[in-house]
Amino acid sequence: MTELQQAARQALALMDLTSLNDDDSDTVIRELCARANTPVGHPAAVCVFPAFVATARQALAEQGLAGKVKVATVTNFPHGEADIERAAEETRAAIAAGADEVDVVFPYRALMAGDAEVGRKLVEACKRECGDAVLKVILETGELKDAGLIDRAGMLAIDGGADFLKTSTGKVAVNATLNAAKILLTAIKASGRDVGFKAAGGVRTAEDAAAYLQLAERVMRAEWITPAHFRFGASGLLGSLLETLGVEQDKGSTGGY
């Protein structure tokens, strides 16, 4: 197995296979969950809108993936408003619907306007609603742009109780970048906290994934890179990983491999 194939196999197990589109439906989400059942392993999670959490849970169970693939969803998405009560309410509802993990958008525009405290409080409120469920905080690093702001957002999220720092919603012009990833990984290391990292948006190829894995190994260590600490949020990456691994993909199928 080549180095790229090894990276592809590793990346597949770290994926949050994602569908967050306006035209999503129960059929689309069932197809997504069928795609998660590959001959070379399965992703860590599927990530869907809150309305489809129950559908995803049922579809994963039908694929024999219940308890193996987590169901993640999004709150305060995609705009990252500074309404703490609403973000907490959405998170509470997501957990009640059966989500294992919640990806909440940090109020990044409030931080850019000089209000840092609202971000920490929003994360804190959402973490309370999550309980034992995993809370990933989407910082929208491509909009923050400035390294100091990205670092500040990361530290505020960590202080609020984030389980993961996530780069992006995938809904803006600039999403995950290696530079932003390095800033966040460095912040996690400096914090000394048990916090993970998720690169989301723009990670499309096995080569892209390999670059992030190499960066994480340099900043952290190889043993740290597990689904408990590292994720890729992507919709199109799976096809590239399977192609790299030599898995035939039925172009006419509805999503199963």
Six-digit token string for 96: 């009640």
d(CA 195, CA 76): 21
Q: Which of 220, 196, 97, 181 is nearest to 137 (CA)?
A: 196
Q: Examine the residue annotation and report whether 145 is marked as an active-site residue of this protein.
A: no
Q: Examine the residue annotation and report whether 103 is marked as an active-site residue of this protein.
A: yes
d(CA 112, CA 149): 8
d(CA 117, CA 112): 12
E-assigned strand segments in 33-75:
45-48, 70-75
Q: Which residue in 103, 127, 136, 208 is the catalytic one?
A: 103
Which residue has tokens 């600490």? Answer: 229
Q: Which residue in 16, 100, 166, 208 is the catalytic one?
A: 166
Q: Examine the residue annotation and report whether 121 is marked as an active-site residue of this protein.
A: no
Annotated active-site positions, please?
Answer: 103, 166, 198
